[in-house]
Chain A
C-alpha cells in the first residue's frame, strides 16, 4: 500500500556566496519510514535539514513539509516535527524532569507523557538528576526524549549517535525503530553506513551537493555487486573466496554434494563500498 508522503523536496539548491552547497536535491519521505541521508562531513546534510525545517532558505526549488511549503512555514510547524541536531543542547543546571517539563509546557503536552518518554528512554531513575551531570549517552537520550515528547509526525535526526559508545548507540537505534513502528517518519543524516544499513528503509547518498544514489540499502548493495564473490568455509576450516564463474559454480556444487561446506556467504558490497564506487571517494574522506 502506498504510504502517505509527509515530506517532498523538489530540485532544492543552496548557494552560500560563491559556494554551491546543494545543487539539485529531490526526495520524498513517507509515514512510518526511516530515510537515511548519507554523506561525508560537509556534503550538505545539515543544510538540507535546516532548509526543510525553515531555519534556512533555499536558493531555488521547493520543499513541502506536511503539506506546507517550507517558505511559508512559521513556528507552529514545530508542533508537528521534532529536531535533534548533533549539538542540540540541554539546560545543564536544570533537572532531567525540568528539561522536559518546560518543553511539555511549550508544546502543550500533559505531564503523564513526560513519565512515558522517561520510561521509554530509560531515564526514569535519573529524573531528579541535573542534566549537566548525565553521561553523554544519557544526555543524548534526553535530547531524543525531548524531541519526541509531543509525538511529532516527522523526526529530524542529525548524526544522532555521533560520538556515542556502541551500547548507547544500540539503545538509540532500538528507540528509533520503536518510533518508526508507531508511524513516525524519520529523516536521519549520518555518515555511519552500518547505522544506515540497519535502520533505514531507504538511503540517499549525498555527494558534492547532489544525491548520487537512492534506494533501499539492499537494492543499492545488489545494484553495485558487479563482481559477485562467495566466501566459503570448508570442513577443514579452510576459508576460500571465489568469484562467480561457471568453473567455480561446479566447484561449489561438488563441495556441496560431498557435504564439505561449513558455511557460505555472498559478498555484496557494503554501503561504504557503494559510496566509494559511485563517488570514487571514501565516505570519511
Chain B
C-alpha cells in the first residue's frame, strides 16, 4: 500500500511535469501530425490510395519516431530536469525508494508510447484485418518498455536537459535511423533486424504488405535481449552512483 502510494505520487509528479513541458508535448503532437501529414501527401501522389510500400514507410517513420523521440526523451529529459532543478535529491530525501522512482518515472511515458503506437497504426489507415493486434500489443509493450529503460539510462548519465538531449542522439541514430534507412539499403535492413525498433517496424511492414507476421527466434531474442541488456546497464549505473552522482 505504501509502495503504491509513493509510486503513484512520483507518477503524478511526472505527469504534471510532462503535461506542462511544451517540448515533450509537441514531440507527441508532431509524431501524430507527421504520420497524418505524410499520409495525405503520399495519398495525393497516388490518387488517395496508399501502396503497401508507402504504408510500411509511413508506419516505419511513425513508430520509430514515437519509440525513440517520445520514449527516450520523455523519460530521459524528465530525470535530467529533476537534476537540473534540484528536485531529484528532494524526492530521494522524502522517503521515495529507487524502485518507486523508477516505476513512477516510466509509467506515463510507457503508456503514452504504447497508445501512440496504436494511434499511428489507426491513423495510417492500414486495414485492421491485416493486423494481428495481440502480437502488435506484445511487441509494442516490450519495445516501449525498452525505450523507457533506455530513457532512464540517458537520465542517469545526464547532468541537465541539454546533456540528456546530447546523450540521446547516439541512441536515436541507432534505434530510429537504422529501421528508417533500412528501406534504402538491404544491408541496413538486415542490420535493423538486430535492434528492437527494427523488429517492431519489420512487423508493421509485414502488416502493411498484408503478410502474416511470425515472430522469428532472432526477433524474439533481439526484443528480449535488448530489454534485459538495457535493464542490466541501468542497474549497473544505478548501483554505481544512484540517480545522481555526488
Residues of A near any B CB (own CB < 8 A): 50, 53, 55-56, 74-79, 83, 85, 87-94, 98, 102-103, 105-108, 146
Contacts and interface: CB of A to CB of B under 8 A. Distances in A.
Contacts of A103: 9, 94
25 contacts: A50-B246, A55-B89, A56-B246, A75-B95, A76-B95, A77-B95, A83-B90, A85-B86, A88-B86, A88-B90, A89-B85, A90-B85, A91-B87, A93-B16, A93-B17, A93-B21, A94-B17, A98-B16, A103-B94, A105-B12, A106-B94, A106-B95, A106-B96, A108-B2, A108-B5
A79 B95 contact: yes
B97 interface: yes
B5 A106 contact: yes
B86 A87 contact: yes
Contacts of A105: 5-6, 8-9, 12
A26 B92 CA distance: 26
B13 interface: yes
B45 interface: no
B16 A107 contact: no
A102 B12 contact: yes
A80 B5 CA distance: 17
Given A55-B93, A107-B94, 13 more contacts: A78-B94, A79-B95, A88-B86, A90-B85, A90-B87, A91-B87, A94-B17, A103-B94, A105-B6, A105-B8, A106-B10, A106-B91, A146-B90
B216 interface: no
Contacts of A74: 97
B20 interface: yes
A235 B103 CA distance: 75
B246 A102 contact: no
Contact of A106 (B6, B85, B89, B246): B6
A105 B89 CA distance: 17
Contacts of B82: 89
Q: Lowest 8 A-B CB distances belong to which pairs? A: A89-B86, A78-B95, A105-B9, A89-B87, A93-B20, A89-B85, A106-B9, A83-B93
A100 to B, nearest CB: 12
